[in-house]
Amino acid sequence: MNITVIFFLGLLIALIGVIPPGLLNMTAAKVSLKEGHNRGIAFSIGVCIIVFLQTYIASMFARYLNNHRDVVEILQRVAFVIFVLITIYFLLLAKSKPKPNVEPHTKSKHSRFFQGMFLSAINVFPIPYQAYMTITIAGFGWFNFEKISIISYVFGAATGTFVMLYIYIFFFDKIKNKKFTSQKNMNYIIGAITGIVAGVTLINIIMDI
């Protein structure tokens, strides 16, 4: 598989994973709004360095699992149930009016880069998410576990994360001013995406039977 294609797969998968409003993207937006664009970017770079490491760890874990297909089959079934539940949750949540939770103000204005690293490090979701997605695309023949492919994918994942944080930084005002409509539409989008992932997982399960 062409490493450019693998790079963009990593970018797209990471981009989707960071779409839901959470601590990292909301904090990046808040830092940019209150302290300036450069500090928001510094925070985002710190986040992406940790995402790079987390995705690499996830790829190594996925390579191990790929050599133990019995474990993968169990995880696929568990993941299918989880994604179905997440889809239902976000589709139901779209009917409510959730308020974004933004991380409290940090006193130091010179440690946004390290703050980004710290908050990203305590957010371990990318590891199981990337491990599962890596195994999934490998199952479709779009990815192999050679070193160059893993590095290309990891760089793509870090870039995708940065792109989504960048989008939050520049468009947070619009999301904030149209809180109800934007949040509702975003929940529908997230529900649709997890529904698609659940469908792909189901296809993989059926193909393995």
Q: Is there a contact between 66 and 145 (Cβ–Cβ < 8 Å)?
A: yes
What is the predicted pLDDT for the residue at 107?
45
91 vs 147: CA distance, rounded Å? 39
CA atoms lying within 13 Å on the CB side of residue 138? 21
Is 185 within the bounds of a domain? no
60 vs 52: CA distance, rounded Å? 13
pLDDT in tens, 65-106: 777 666 666 766 776 777 777 777 767 765 555 555 444 454
- For 83, the token pair is 């994604």
Is 135 within the bounds of a domain? yes
Q: Is there a contact between 56 and 150 (Cβ–Cβ < 8 Å)?
A: yes
Is 209 within the bounds of a domain? no
User: Is pLDDT of 179 > 60?
Assistant: no
What is the predicted pLDDT for the residue at 83?
72
Give residue 94's Cα distance to chain centre.
Answer: 20
What is the predicted pLDDT for the residue at 57?
92
Radius of gyration in angstroms for the set of CA atoms belonging to the chain, rounded to a whole number: 18
Is 134 within the bounds of a domain? yes
Query: Which burial class, exposed, middle or buried, applies to 100 when counting CB atoms under 10 A from its CB (0-12, 13-18, 19+)?
Result: middle
Specify the number of domains making up the chain: 1
Main-chain dihedrals φ then ψ at residue 180, nearest 5 degrees? -65, -50
What is the predicted pLDDT for the residue at 157?
94
Is 64 within the bounds of a domain? yes
Is 179 within the bounds of a domain? no
User: Is pLDDT of 141 > 70?
Assistant: yes
**Where do the H-state alpha helices sit in the chain?**
3-17, 23-35, 37-66, 69-93, 112-121, 126-139, 147-177, 179-208
Is 57 within the bounds of a domain? yes
Is 95 within the bounds of a domain? no
The pLDDT confidence band at residue 174, using thresholds 50, 70 and 90, is low
What is the predicted pLDDT for the residue at 71?
66
What is the predicted pLDDT for the residue at 155?
95
pLDDT in tens, 20-47: 767 788 788 888 878 888 888 999 999 9
pTM of the model: 0.68
The parent domain of residue 13 ranges over 3-75+102-174
